[in-house]
Each structure stands twice: as structure tokens, then as C-alpha cells.
Amino acid sequence: MTHFLDINTTPADDLRAIIDQAKAIKNARAGLPKGALDADAPLAGQMVALIFEKPSTRTRVSFDVGVRQMGGQTMVLSGQDMQLGHGETIADTARVLSRYVDMIMIRTFEEATLQEMAEYASVPVINGLTNRTHPCQIMADILTFEEHRGPIAGKKVVWSGDGNNVCASFIHAAGQFGFDLTFTGPQTLDPEAVFVEEARAKGVNITIERDARAAVEGADLIVTDTWVSMHDPQSARERRHNQLRPYQVNQDLMALAKPDALFMHCLPAHRDEEATTAVMDGPNSVIFDEAENRLHAQKAVMRYCLGK
């Protein structure tokens, strides 16, 4: 049984195989209606539980559609339906669900919830997001970059803004896929030091640069995310904005990167806050390719977990 919990805990060769399979899955579906089954229907007869303690658009739709395209069925459960850890332990919930379904995807708050679910489930568990990491998003981002610019190994990625869960998984990916990453943002929002050191130990350059203009010089890819994450209290909004305004991705900042540098944002976005509309809708933006590729990357992740 194989879980997909984080990029840094998945073997690098397996990650490469997932990306390569995602490319093949996407190519094989060219021109097909969205509701058409994949030719081999690898999840025929399989039931997948999709658990959402956190609300979602892209994660929910992409996993649901992906399971259905592969011939499986989904059971979508909210945090209110499950009441995870309230009344019944997560361990017992994992044991019970394993009697009903063939795989579990969970989008939750605490990393401990994910880890306990994986420890006690007897079916594969996939991390759909925690407050700490978001590996499925970054697998889609790697797929998107390589579609447009070829292998990501040896490239320079710049993360501008908050060193949040998406940033953490990008740092994991740097170590596993062999690209360099520069974080530019305020010190109070730095990514976790343990993730930075782990990636550096794998031989890649992880740089902290406070000056956004200096950070993006020579960048092949610039990435940002919302300044206020969904688990942050509303009271943090003004404080975050004051800290992060110097790290807005705008046309002036993009002009300092390589001419063909790509721009990514995992969405949802607050337009003209973390990135301007001119950048998001500009010629270097691939944000909607990113969104689509959640589907293909996650289908490859699910196949990987089920040995398909």
C-alpha cells in the first residue's frame, strides 16, 4: 500500500514517474469529452472517499472528475459530516472508512490529522492539503512548467510573498526535482527552516532574499499565493498586507526576470493584491493551465497509490 502524503517523503524516481504518467494521461484524453472514461478505466469498481474539512473548488472538482474519468465512484464528505477527531478518534474513523472505500483523499487543517489517518487506514491516503503542505498543487505546477519550458531540473524558481503551505511543498520539490528556489518575503513569514535545510542537503540552492527585485533576476518561474490563507484569522489581513505589499508580482517585477519567465498562482487569487491583473492575464501567465493540470497530476497520483 502506498500513500501520497508529501513530496519530500515520496521517492524522487516515483515523483518523476508520476509527472511522466500525468503527461501521458493528459495527451491520451486530447479531444475527448470531459465525461468520457479513460480507455483503461483503471479505477473501475473502486470507491474513493474525498474528505473536506476545508472548503475547496479546484481540489474537490479535480479529484471528483479524475476518479469518474478513471471509472471509479466518489463519496464526498465534509468536515461537518465527519466531525474528525470529535467524539470518534481519527484512528477509528480511518479503520472504519477502510472497510468501505478503496482510497481516501483528505483536505484538512492539522498535519497530525493526515498522519493519523494514514497510520491507521488500510487503504491509500492522499494529502489534498494541510496547513503545512500542499503536494498535489506542486505536482500540477511541475507538470505545467515542463509542458511550457521542458525539464525543471536546474531552473530558478522564485517564490514571492508568504512562506506558506504551498511554498513549503515547492521547497520539497526543489530538493526532489533538482531546481533552485529563492524565497523573497518578510522575515516574519519565512518558510520553515527544517524544509529549507532538508532541500539544501540534497544539493540545491535555497536562497532567502528580502529584496524582491534582486530575487527575481534570472528567474525561470515566479510564483505567488494569496496573502491571507483560509486558516488565517481575518484580523491578520491588514497586518499581512502591510508586510507583503513590497512583494506584489506586477509587470515591473516580471520585467526583471528572464523574458520567457512563467508566472504561476495556485488560485483562488485576490487580483491586484498579491499579483496584478496585468500579470495574471498576461502572456507569461499559465495559471489556468495550472488549474487544469491538477486533474491530470492527481489522476497520476491516484494511479500511483493503487499501483495502476
Q: Active-site positions?
A: 107, 134, 137, 225, 266, 294
Positive or negative: CA dihedral 59, 265, 179, 202: negative
User: What is the distance between the alpha carbons of residues 261 and 279, in angstroms, rounded to a whole number?
Assistant: 12
Grid look-up 472505500 returns 101
Q: What cell does 11 get?
A: 521517492
User: What is the distance between the alpha carbons of residues 79 and 53, in angstroms, rounded to a whole number?
Assistant: 4
Q: What is the torsion angle, in degrees rounded to the nearest 10, for the CA atoms of residue 164, residue 127, residue 7 and residue 273?
A: -30
What's the residue count for the chain?
308
User: What is the distance between the alpha carbons of residues 296 and 21, in angstroms, rounded to a whole number?
Assistant: 9
Q: Are 115 and 58 in contact (CB under 8 A)?
A: no
Nearest to 122 by CA among 108, 103, 138: 103
User: What is the distance between the alpha carbons of residues 168 and 191, in angstroms, rounded to a whole number?
Assistant: 6
Nearest to 108 by CA among 50, 163, 47, 189: 50
User: What is the distance between the alpha carbons of residues 20 and 17, in angstroms, rounded to a whole number?
Assistant: 5
Positive or negative: CA dihedral 198, 130, 106, 222: negative
* Degrees to nearest 5, angle at CA 291 with 285 and 296: 125
